[in-house]
Amino acid sequence: MLATELHYTYMKILIVRNAFSHDFGGAERLAVHLAEELKNNAIDTIVISRQTRLLTYAEDHGIKNKKGWWWSHQNWSGWQVLGIPFYLGWQLALFCWYVCVFLRYQPDVIHLMSKDDFIAGTLAAKILGKGVIWTDPADLKHVFRNHAIFYKNPVGKLVYFASRFTDIITLVSESERKLVTESVGHNLSDKFIVVHTAGRDEKVVPLKRNPQDESAVIFCSTSRLVYAKGITELIDAFLKLSKDADVYRLWLIGNGPDEEAFKKQARNNSFITFIGHSDTPLRYVAAADVFVHPTHHEGFSLSLAEAAMLAKPMIATNVGGNPELVNNTNGLLVPVKNSEEFFKAMEKLGSNAKLRQTLGKNARKDYVTKFDFSTIVKTMLIPLYEKISA
């Protein structure tokens, strides 16, 4: 064991994750949580990002970090394809910046977690003989689409070209593997592997409930407040649920561009609370009774994994990687964009404390046996790092 730890000491990993300023969620926290686990295993790790919230999160968790470069303009479809020459110039500048960063820090492996960095970061790393891993945050199924049609998707063609130089590409779920395969148009190579990068196991002190909520049944959601997260259906379902009963509550943790529209939809319902952004969202989840995830699409939900870690029964839409986390022993799956079915699921769990307890215990058991983050890092990711840095 000592020899292994000493070996880890001489490995350095750079983790790169970029996103829009309002997109601070599971994929952003993952970069920091991974760095924490690597640090616990004596691996020197630095997180690079342009997003201030992610850098602050890294700083708060004692992780070394560096402010990176990132261009917020990401859509090059339609008429905007005329700007591709500017995008190529940007990628060249980003490539040069990454070369300088990699020469300065001398990492053994570059772990890239965002599309724009896949191109420049990969090519810069390979020029310098560094190992490269991509973690796809459920983007590649879109990025690779139509890449083989010569007059479509120029950015996807660049990303697809860069993918040839990677050592490993991790996909977040079996569902994503299937979707990426369909986008590529042929079977994926052995470098594509599924790694369920769930949340780390941690002790969370539940938020103290208000006196009027002590005996209530609280449903809790943590997500960006955008239509694609299914908040419309969730609010509709809860309005029906709470119409004739004052025992239910709904906590919405997060913010986003559609927040005001959702507040208007809620019609000043006193049982719906818009918490806003929280640096400690798991305290709300720990204090709630049921975790709800009504999203329209999902690669692999860190939020669901964290709810399972906290032994919470779950209600989620039957999309993407959700069925790999939620089954009839630990929660309920409902059709996407169906507020009536979501209402029925909320009513079923809300009215049955024994069922909530049983599902919650099973959720915790599934987390420990299948999705414990520390185990995944030690048994899957670290061996991959060692393999490609040799």
- Taking the C-alpha atoms of residue 8 and residue 42, their distance in angstroms, rounded to an integer, is 6
Instruction: Read off the pLDDT band of 7 (50, 70, 90).
Output: very low
How far apart CA 336 and CA 240 sit, in angstroms, is 18
**Domains of the chain, first to last:** 2-200+372-389 (3.40.50.2000), 211-371 (3.40.50.2000)
- Could you tell me what percent of the chain has a pLDDT over 90? 84
pLDDT score of 197: 83
Residues 126-139 have pLDDT tens digits of: 999 999 999 998 89
> Cβ neighbours of residue 328 under 8 Å, at least 6 residues apart?
none
349 sits in which H/E element: helix 339-350
- pTM (two decimals): 0.84
Q: How far apart are CA 94 and CA 310, in angstroms?
A: 40
- Neighbour-count burial for 102-140, b at 16+ CB within 10 Å, e otherwise: beeeebbbbbbbbbbbbbbbbbbbbeeebbbbbbbbbbb
Helix %, strand %, coil % for the chain, to 5? 50, 15, 35
Average pLDDT, the chain: 93
Q: What is the rounded distance in angstroms from the CA atom of residue 301 to the CA atom of residue 373?
A: 13
The whole-number pLDDT of residue 361 equals 98
Arithmetic mean of pLDDT, 70-83: 90
* pLDDT tens-digit map of 320-370: 999 999 999 999 999 999 999 999 999 999 999 999 999 999 999 999 999
